């Protein structure tokens, strides 16, 4: 009896196993052929892909141009593409080698080393003429094409960004394209920078490629030729015409590296158009560290004395400055002896020489009248808001030119209001310490606003999105900021103060006097609470001061004993002015 029960149990288990395997097989071959497992794998497509040899000429993703039409994120080169399975003794080896200017033995060896369709590794890039000569031979399995190669760590690293595979994002963001088959779960998407923000316009609508089908053993299927497949819509891929200037970006990158800025960066704006000409952050990210680095130029940093511009603007606007009144700059904000011993200075000279004591006292005077004055004037100068272009573009309600741009702060919202009531806290805040944090992009826009006479705009990093034939799809119009502004008199006084920082022999920017044009600006040094070994060092300014054309901010977040910001500012300014004259 017991034996019969065991037999029945075992039989049932076998039956369930067979039913399960039958269902599984049916699921794979009949039911879920186009959407198998939680990953929604298209089994039919995967089967085809396993028996298809392909060479991608263009991944179909859109690309970036600089303001002058030069490629930024991709390289396009003429290459010779070989399908090694189709190589035969009938190929005119000598003619091919002669066109490519290589030895015949060298050419045949390169082919024998290939295991799949690949571009030939040549010592020199072939010309368009050579490419055309190869194609005239009409050899099955040998083709010459302009191949688009995406740079893994592109030029203008942080601002342009990088791409990578993200199946979850594809399913979440591009479900309709996935269903239509224009994208797959392996289609690359933007991971950061403009690659991410402009991804809806750049994502591939289909690849351009050579494809060839093989059997299980990898041999060519009889009667099938290599086919050329491209996007069905000739208007794609789209491209973004940025506001960046490739030569200026090269100048900025070179200067940062030459002076050893390990952590920090630079922002360069065109004052007239308020367009971004260059932006660079250090350290650079690689394909392996893409998620470990932030763009320091669009994230909060402690500004130090650069923030004195805000305190000075408030004091001028509220009529709290008396030219004859002097402050004891032999003391610091703690009432202790200051190591620089600057003597008794009025407000103008205090700004020029960056005396903390003066601006601490001014802030406390202003605080008695208006406890919110610091935030009010930081807001007027654009330091507390996003400064990058934002707006509605088609169905994208809050489209932004800058990836994860942070806004600034005067006070830490997590702390109690009482933390900022003391005289010392007010003084610390007035000189850009305590909890004050702003982005270098915002500071650059503030400098451009002051240089322009007080008119403020959002910063653009792109001019337009265009179809493949160059026709404009989207133009990004100027966005004038309608925030409450400073009076023309205050702006004029700020311009004078910034100019004296460089013109005055005792000014903190006097090292820039030797330039063949005038610079107006403000230095800043900020102590970093979390790392006492280094300070934040800034120089923010514009040039030429008499007819402003460029706003430039340099930040060194690992400042020790060497002031790198002014030498970097000087080198960039000289080269930029040369390029504009040329």
State the catalytic residues: 305
Q: CA 243 → CA 31, 529, 555, 573, distances in Å?
A: 51, 36, 22, 18
Look up tokens 């630079």; give the residue.
266
Q: How far is CA 525 from the centre of its chain?
A: 26
- Taking alpha carbons only, the member of 295, 484, 472 closest to residue 401 is 295
Q: Which residues pair with 55 in a beta bridge?
A: 210
Cis preceding linkage at 544, omega within 30: yes
Q: What is the DSSP letter of 75?
A: E
What size, in residues, is the chain? Answer: 582
Give the burial string for 364-400 (b: 16+ CB within 10 Å, else e).
bebbeeeeebbbebbbbbbbbbbbbbbeebeeeeebb
How crowded is residue 529: how many other Cβ atoms within 10 Å of its Cβ? 10
- Taking alpha carbons only, the member of 349, 388, 542, 546 closest to residue 450 is 542
Crossing angle, helix 373-380 and helix 308-317, to 10 degrees? 100
How crowded is residue 76: how many other Cβ atoms within 10 Å of its Cβ? 12
Q: CA 448 → CA 387, 535, 545, distances in Å?
A: 12, 25, 11
Strands of 378-519, DSSP E: 390-393, 396-400, 462-466, 472-475
Paired tokens of 202: 């750049």
Q: How far apart are CA 237 and CA 230, in angstroms?
A: 11
Q: How far apart are CA 37 and CA 28, in angstroms?
A: 9
What are the φ and ψ backbone dihedral angles of 561, each rounded to 5 degrees? Answer: -105, -10
Interstrand relation of 239-242 and 63-65 (parallel, antiparallel or unpaired): parallel
Paired tokens of 116: 């799949």
- Taking alpha carbons only, the member of 370, 541, 377 closest to residue 450 is 541
Strands of 528-570, DSSP E: 535-543, 550-559
CB half-sphere exposure, 79, CA atoms < 13 A: 18
Interstrand relation of 535-543 and 550-559 (parallel, antiparallel or unpaired): antiparallel
Which H/E stretch holds residue 362? Answer: helix 356-369
């Amino acid at each position: 009896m017991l034996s019969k029960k065991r037999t029945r149990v075992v039989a049932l288990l076998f039956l369930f196993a067979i039913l399960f395997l039958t269902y599984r097989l049916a699921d794979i071959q009949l039911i879920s052929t186009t959407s198998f497992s939680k990953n929604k794998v298209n089994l039919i497509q995967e089967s085809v892909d396993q028996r298809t040899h392909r060479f991608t000429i263009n991944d179909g993703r859109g690309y970036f141009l600089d303001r002058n039409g030069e490629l930024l994120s991709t390289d396009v080169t003429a290459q010779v593409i070989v399908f090694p399975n189709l190589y035969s003794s009938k190929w005119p080896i000598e003619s091919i080698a002669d066109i490519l200017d290589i030895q015949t033995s060298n050419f045949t060896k390169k082919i024998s080393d290939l295991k799949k369709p690949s571009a030939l590794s040549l010592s020199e890039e072939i010309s368009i003429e050579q490419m055309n000569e190869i194609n005239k031979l009409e050899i099955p399995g040998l083709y010459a094409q302009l191949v688009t190669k995406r740079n893994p760590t592109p030029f203008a690293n942080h601002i342009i960004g990088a791409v990578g595979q993200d199946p979850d994002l594809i399913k979440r963001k591009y479900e309709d394209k996935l269903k239509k088959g224009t994208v797959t779960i392996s289609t690359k998407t933007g991971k950061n920078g403009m690659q991410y923000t402009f991804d809806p316009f750049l994502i591939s609508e289909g690849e351009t490629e050579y494809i060839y089908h093989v059997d299980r053993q990898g041999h060519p299927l009889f009667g099938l030729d290599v086919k050329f497949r491209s996007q069905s819509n000739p208007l794609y891929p789209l491209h973004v015409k940025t506001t960046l200037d490739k030569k200026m970006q090269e100048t900025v990158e070179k200067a940062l590296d030459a002076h050893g800025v390990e952590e920090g960066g630079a922002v360069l704006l065109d004052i007239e158009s308020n367009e971004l000409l260059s932006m660079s952050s250090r350290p650079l990210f690689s394909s392996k560290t893409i998620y470990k680095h932030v763009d320091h130029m669009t994230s909060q940093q402690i500004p130090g004395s650069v923030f004195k511009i805000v305190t000075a603007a408030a004091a001028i606007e509220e009529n709290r400055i008396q030219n004859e009144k002097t402050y004891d700059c032999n003391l610091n904000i703690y009432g202790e002896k200051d190591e620089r011993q600057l003597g008794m200075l009025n407000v103008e000279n205090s700004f020029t020489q960056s005396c903390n004591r003066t601006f601490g006292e001014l802030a406390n005077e202003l605080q008695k009248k208006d406890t919110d004055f610091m935030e009010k004037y930081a807001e007027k100068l654009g330091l507390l808001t996003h400064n990058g272009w934002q707006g509605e573009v088609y169905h994208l309600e809050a489209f932004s030119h800058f990836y994860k741009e942070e806004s600034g702060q005067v006070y830490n919202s997590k702390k109690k209001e009482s933390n900022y009531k003391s005289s010392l806290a007010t003084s610390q805040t007035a000189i850009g310490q305590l909890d004050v944090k702003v982005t270098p992009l915002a500071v650059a826009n503030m400098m451009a606003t002051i240089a322009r006479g007080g008119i403020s705009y959002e910063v653009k990093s792109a001019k337009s999105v265009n179809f493949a034939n160059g026709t404009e799809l989207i133009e990004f119009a100027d966005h004038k900021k309608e925030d409450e502004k400073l009076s023309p008199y205050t702006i004029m006084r700020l311009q004078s103060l910034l100019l004296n920082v460089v013109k005055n022999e005792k000014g903190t920017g006097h090292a820039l006097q030797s330039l063949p044009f005038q610079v107006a600006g403000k230095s800043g040094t900020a102590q970093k609470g979390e790392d006492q070994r280094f300070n934040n060092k800034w120089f923010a300014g514009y040039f030429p001061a008499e007819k402003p054309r460029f706003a430039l901010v340099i930040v060194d977040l690992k400042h020790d004993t060497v002031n790198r910001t002014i030498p970097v500012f000087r080198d960039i300014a000289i080269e930029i002015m040369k390029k504009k004259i040329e």
